[in-house]
Amino acid sequence: MRAEVVAIFIFIAVLIPVPALSYEREPSIEVVSVSYIDIQKGITSPINSNYLGKGEKILLITIYNPAVREKIRYDFIQEAMFFNSREEMLFTAYNVELELESNDAIKVKTGKITLPALPAMQSVSLQFFIEVFGENETELKFKAKYEVIDKLKTLQPYDPNLIPVRRMTTIINSTADLFNFTLQNTTEYRYDIFLKEYELEYTTKIKEIPIKLHIEEKDVLLEVKEIKTEKLIVDGKGNVEVSIKNVGKKTAKNAYATIELPKLQQATTQAISSIPTSMLPFVISTPSIGSTTSATSSQSSYFIGDLKPGEIAKASFYVTMDVPAGGVYPVKLKLVYLDEYGNLKESDPVSFGIEVISKPEVSVIEIDSRIFVNSKGEVILKMKSNIDLSDASARIVVSSPLSALSSECYLGDIKSGDEFSAIFKLKASSEAEATKYPAELYVKFRAGNEYVESDAIKIGIEVKPEIEFFVLEKAKIRAGEEAIVTFAIRNNGNAVVRDATARLIIVSPFSSTDDTAFIGDLNPGEIAKAKFKLSVDRDATPKLYALNLEVKYRAENGEWVISKPSKAIIEVEPPTANYTVYLIVLVLLLAGVVYYLRKRR
């Protein structure tokens, strides 16, 4: 049995080549629809609208393969066996080449487009960039070149694999004797046959399809004669005045002009699964698989009225320049109007450029920080601008541990290159450290009728260390006494303190009726004496005591500051002996002795 199957496949392999296939509705290329995208206007025409104006357009040609499985005739068994599960191959167009040729009226700027395959009943939309400069009706030649399967040229299978799939045992008993029977074993096999090699032969088809287009001439054509603008600045607002002339042949009735300003555009394209990514710039998919392009713009309009052929009109626009940097930017202007029949029309847009100045470059020359830890102070900034600024003000933004007590400063009019200063009052909390903290500076100024703010200027605000005071000498006092104690206090900081007053924090066993001492101005490293009237309990334990001493002073910025406590060391000595008491006791003792002796006599 197995030998017979092998023989059959050897027979199949040698019965080649075979005659060409014969079937109806074979692969072809047909045009479904034609439309266009106006690049300047950003609009798409209706499907099968072949009326277009002059200028650059994107011509959209949708094609499809109309092949349908209606009738196939296989002349040989090997054809039927091979294509039985592969009939879609017969109805696919392969190596498709599509080309749109230019003529005297239209220049085609897109070259040949290729598709590896176009399955049956599948459509694809193609983009062709064109430039229209002719008039009236014209015809473009759309050429399609593709291949279809002509015949199965070679077919060579591997040897079939014989695989058992089921085994059965049958009992055969032809007599009445139950012990006299015959067992029959049957095995079913499956033959797996794999192709080792096959070769197809293709036939090249060429088709030429005419594309008829009608070129329309606009009734109203615009020409820009003059442009006047205020000093426009990035993110600023201002007036743009445009003088336009109707160089067309018809009157634009009840016309108003619209202006389209530059703005960022975004576009996204989704992949098309059946077409290579290298073709995406030229292919627009069918509704189920699409690509989208979105653009946003800022528009303003100005009513003109009737504009006759040859007349000049002025249109004024108040615009916002939402652009990233300075430069000359393109602007589009068009006219929306009623024609002689009352239909709403619009002219082709005309382009012109307007100059936009970059935001000012404000440079910080010097930062004078008079802020100390745990105190208020001023920051004085010296700056320069590269352009004139009108009615300017400055604003500072800080974050913890700094806080702004006055965050804005008026500057007035500033000339380009001149130095100007801004003063802000800030506070550093007790958690601040002696370091630089980041801050942002903004300069706001008038541009036209609006105010514009500069980009953030990054600066560092230095916070100076809190001034510390050291108590250098040790004071002494005896228990039970009241005395004037003197401490030597040194300014251990880097700045001058003024009108300083030392205060001693009194705790048991001490008491005082005068716990403050004025020490005046102290330069860095300078030492001053502070005297306090101090009492100590008589029963105080003789030892060293440490009292907190604070200094209140006026800092360089004029703010009052209380320093961190310093330790003032006081030595309490044992109390002095009371000899008066001893003398009284002695006198009384002597008097008693004298009295006793006299009484015995």
Domain boundaries, the chain: 2-215, 222-262+297-356, 363-464, 469-573
Structural tokens at position 26? 């074979």
Q: What percent of the chain has pLDDT over 90?
A: 42
Q: Global pTM?
A: 0.49
pLDDT digits (tens, 9 = 90+) for 28-70: 999 999 988 877 666 666 667 777 878 888 999 999 999 988 7
What pLDDT, on the 0 to 100 scale, is given for residue 561?
84
What pLDDT, on the 0 to 100 scale, is given for residue 101?
95
pLDDT digits (tens, 9 = 90+) for 112-133: 999 999 999 999 999 999 999 8
66 contacts 26 by C-beta, under 8 angstroms: no
CATH match of 2-215 with 2.60.40.10 = yes
- Which superfamily does 222-262+297-356 belong to? Immunoglobulins (2.60.40.10)
Read off the pLDDT of each residue in 195-201 and give the average, rounded to a whole number: 82
C-alpha–C-alpha distance, residues 350 and 332, integer Å: 6
The phi, psi pair for 322, rounded to 5°, reads -90, 75
Residues 6+ apart with CB under 8 A from 230: 238, 239, 240, 448
DSSP 515: -
The phi, psi pair for 130, rounded to 5°, reads -130, 160
Render 269-337 in DSSP notation, one character per residue: ----TTS-GGGGGGEE--TTS--EEEE--EEEEEEEEEE-TT-EEEEEEEEE---SS-EEEEEEEEEEE
User: Which is more confident, 431 or 598?
Assistant: 431
Supply the mean pLDDT for the chain.
82
What pLDDT, on the 0 to 100 scale, is given for residue 189?
76
Pairing of strands 475-478, 566-573: parallel
Please determine, for residue 413, whether its predicted confidence score (pLDDT) is greater than 70: yes
Q: Which residues pair with 77 in a beta bridge?
A: none
208: left (phi over 0), alpha (psi -120 to 50) or beta: beta
C-alpha–C-alpha distance, residues 58 and 36, integer Å: 5
Q: Which residues pair with 408 in a beta bridge?
A: 395
Please identify which residue in the block is written with the tokens 């230019």: 102
Q: In what order do the strands lie in the sheet with 93-100?
A: 51-52, 195-215, 136-157, 93-100, 113-118
Residue type, 70: E
Burial of 539 per CB tally in 10 Å (0-12, 13-18, 19+): exposed
Please determine, for residue 22, whether its predicted confidence score (pLDDT) is greater than 50: yes
Residue 160, preceding bond cis, omega within 30 degrees? Answer: no
Band of the pLDDT at 146, cuts 50, 70, 90? Answer: very high
Residue 401, preceding bond cis, omega within 30 degrees? Answer: yes
Q: Which residues pair with 298 in a beta bridge?
A: 261
User: Which is more confident, 23 or 166?
Assistant: 166
Pairing of strands 136-157, 195-215: antiparallel
pLDDT digits (tens, 9 = 90+) for 475-504: 999 998 899 999 999 998 888 889 999 999
User: Which is more confident, 325 or 529?
Assistant: 529
Q: What percent of the chain has pLDDT over 70?
A: 85
What pLDDT, on the 0 to 100 scale, is given for residue 578?
61
pLDDT digits (tens, 9 = 90+) for 536-561: 998 889 999 999 999 999 887 778 88
What pLDDT, on the 0 to 100 scale, is given for residue 1?
45
Strands (E), 321-419: 327-338, 344-346, 350-356, 362-369, 371-372, 375-385, 389-398, 402-406, 408-414
Please determine, for residue 19, whether its predicted confidence score (pLDDT) is greater than 60: no
529 contacts 546 by C-beta, under 8 angstroms: no
Please determine, for residue 11, whether its predicted confidence score (pLDDT) is greater than 70: no
Q: Which residues pair with 7 in a beta bridge?
A: none
Please determine, for residue 236, whether its predicted confidence score (pLDDT) is greater than 50: yes
Q: What is the CATH number of domain 469-573?
A: 2.60.40.10
235: left (phi over 0), alpha (psi -120 to 50) or beta: left
428 contacts 373 by C-beta, under 8 angstroms: yes
SS3 399: coil
Taking alpha carbons only, the member of 395, 400, 458 closest to residue 427 is 400
Number of residues that this document lists for the chain: 601
Read off the pLDDT of each residue in 7-36 and give the average, rounded to a whole number: 65
Please determine, for residue 71, whether its predicted confidence score (pLDDT) is greater than 80: no
pLDDT digits (tens, 9 = 90+) for 343-385: 898 888 888 888 888 888 899 999 999 888 888 888 999 999 9
Q: What is the CATH number of domain 363-464?
A: 2.60.40.770
Q: Which residues pair with 96 in a beta bridge?
A: 115
C-alpha–C-alpha distance, residues 551 and 546, integer Å: 16
Burial of 541 per CB tally in 10 Å (0-12, 13-18, 19+): exposed
Residues 6+ apart with CB under 8 A from 289: 270, 272, 273
DSSP 595: H
Domain 2-215 identical in fold to domain 363-464:
yes
Please determine, for residue 282, whether its predicted confidence score (pLDDT) is greater than 50: no
User: Which is more confident, 9 or 250?
Assistant: 250
CB count in 10 Å sphere of residue 115: 21
What pLDDT, on the 0 to 100 scale, is given for residue 143?
96
Q: What's CA 419's distance to the chain center, in Å? A: 35
User: Which is more confident, 523 or 87?
Assistant: 523
Please determine, for residue 464, whether its predicted confidence score (pLDDT) is greater than 70: yes
Please identify which residue in the block is written with the tokens 């393969």: 65
Please determine, for residue 20, whether its predicted confidence score (pLDDT) is greater than 60: no
Taking alpha carbons only, the member of 115, 68, 112 closest to residue 274 is 115
Residue 572 host element (H or E): strand 566-573
Q: How many CA atoms lie within 13 A of 411 on its CB side?
A: 30
Residue 580 host element (H or E): helix 579-600
C-alpha–C-alpha distance, residues 378 and 562, integer Å: 18
467 contacts 563 by C-beta, under 8 angstroms: yes
Please determine, for residue 532, whether its predicted confidence score (pLDDT) is greater than 80: yes
What pLDDT, on the 0 to 100 scale, is given for residue 238?
84
Q: What's CA 223's distance to the chain center, in Å? A: 39
